[in-house]
Chains A and B, each alone.
Chain A
Amino acid sequence: MTSYVLHDTDVLLRRSLRHILRSPDTIITTAITPIAMLLLFVYVFGGAIDVGSDSYVNYLLPGILLITVASGIAYTAFRLFTDVSGGIFERFQSMPITRSAFLWGHVLTSVVANLTSLVLVVLVALAMGFRTGAGVLAWLAVLGIMLLFTLALTWLAVIPGLTATSVDGVSGFSYPLIFLPFVSSAFVPTEGMPAPVRWFAEHQPVTPIVNTIRSLFAEQPVGSDGWIALAWCVGLLVVAYALAMRTYRSKIA
């Protein structure tokens, strides 16, 4: 039975990866918004933002990475929605395929697509002067956090992907996620914010995740932020997974 899950997931994963290869514009558009923000904030607003001694592109990149994933999962939801509304979903459900394979195929595709976009964004940042002395372990830790974050948001994206009734509805859900980093330490230090905004910024998931990645790149100890970031990612992942599976089960009767 386990080998069936793997076999079916593999077949469906290759199918949706092929979709991405046929329309690489989805990866490029995913990367373009964060790259545009990177350019805008580093070359236009960056001169007016004081983040201490660090260069602004180094300061900004972690938040931009999160925005990249937040905009990338809109396509995950969109691909699911297309399958569900187009009828191929019902074909798969009426075939002797393991039930979870359909979702896992999409989820793994989302991970591959988002990692590709992230690599593009990091390459642009490097060209803009982003530098880090981070070793292999620190890079692996960044990769691990981004992977957890991507998985959590991907499972979240599964919900509108399965339930949306229109294309607008399916892409709309990711806007709040894209803007969440603005009210965090991603663009400017939280110290300068008015008290209630600052309280929100410091207690929402983006800030500890951004701070952790920033510390890893700067070869600084991550401190308690590391654990808080990990707890947020795992917590979000568990909740999103449970809700997505519940939605899926109600959908497949």
Chain B
Amino acid sequence: MTTKPAIEIVGLTKSFGDHVVLRGVDLRVRPGSIFALLGSNGAGKTTAVRILSTLLKADGGTATVNGYDVATEPERVRESISLTGQFAAVDEILTGRENLVLVAELRRLEDARGIADALLARFALTEAAGQRVATYSGGMRRRLDIAMSLIGNPPVLFLDEPTTGLDPQSRIEVWKTVRQLAGQGTTVLLTTQYLDEAEQLADRIAVLHEGRIIADGSLAELKRLLPPAEVEYVEKQPTLEDIFLAIVGHDGAADQGAQR
């Protein structure tokens, strides 16, 4: 069980017309780990995630998620995953609670309201639970979006640029959630264009560039690709993020500093 990868991609290719997006991607993601797919805009990250979440068919190669082939057993894959796309996939006209109840009902779970209430509390949305999502801030939407993805405890979670467009506090909250999930055994594959995000969160990082994986390893392994570090003495200045978090008095600031 522990040796079987949660996600395995071999020779994955995909083109849109003449435009080649994936040129043979290989990846293995260990169960319960956080895997970051790093790349600039247009590198093919979203395309890879869409193939893994059965939204798109690959042209060639194979991909399995939780042991199921995305091409031949898409139903099984869908039972094993949750996708949080680049743009919050929430229903604006419904309230936060109704959004969660909707997903719980679609997953055919008992006690949809109980599940919704627990997640509202966990994501600090209880106060806004009865308001329409159209009135939510970007951070609240993203939290609701991720909360919706956790319903039914799928073993594999895809997060496509989960913190793009978020303010620093919301970003840290999302990171905290991702770490918690991995701690509970959920496999997380996240795409990001923020290097610090991959550095902060991921057990393993792969760099996708022009449709190919050009580097794949732990942060320490990737660092070894470069010449050994030189010792320099620099005055330790607080980053703007440290300052921002300190002056707005966010409680996440303390543990954030400790991890750096």
A253 to B94, CA, bound (A): 28
Residues of A within 8 Å of B90, CB to CB, are 88
Q: Is the CB of B89 within 8 A of A87?
A: yes
Q: Is the CB of B94 within 8 A of A95?
A: no
In-complex Cβ contact of B94 among A7, A15, A94, A97 (8 A): A15
Given contacts A91-B83, A91-B89, A91-B148, contact A15 B102 (CB under 8 A): yes
Q: Is A11 an interface residue (CB 8 A)?
A: yes
Q: Is A19 an interface residue (CB 8 A)?
A: yes
Q: Is the CB of B107 within 8 A of A95?
A: yes
A88 to B87, CA, bound (A): 9
Which residue of chain B lies nearest to A88 when distances are taken between CB atoms in the complex? B89
Stretch at the interface among B34-42, B51-59, B181-189, B245-253: B51-59
Q: Is B88 an interface residue (CB 8 A)?
A: yes
Q: Is A96 an interface residue (CB 8 A)?
A: yes
Q: Is A196 an interface residue (CB 8 A)?
A: no
Interface of B (DSSP majority class): loop
Interface of A (DSSP majority class): helix
Residues of A within 8 Å of B54, CB to CB, are 93-94, 253
Q: Is the CB of B98 within 8 A of A11?
A: no
A97 to B82, CA, bound (A): 12
Residues of A within 8 Å of B260, CB to CB, are none
Q: B residues engaging A (CB < 8 A)?
A: 53-57, 75, 78-79, 81-83, 85-94, 98, 102-103, 105-108, 132, 148
Could you name 5 residue pairs across A and B whose Cβ atoms are closer than 8 Å? Answer: A15-B94, A19-B93, A86-B87, A91-B83, A95-B103
Closest 10 CB pairs of A and B: A87-B89, A91-B89, A94-B83, A96-B78, A94-B53, A96-B79, A253-B57, A11-B105, A87-B87, A88-B89
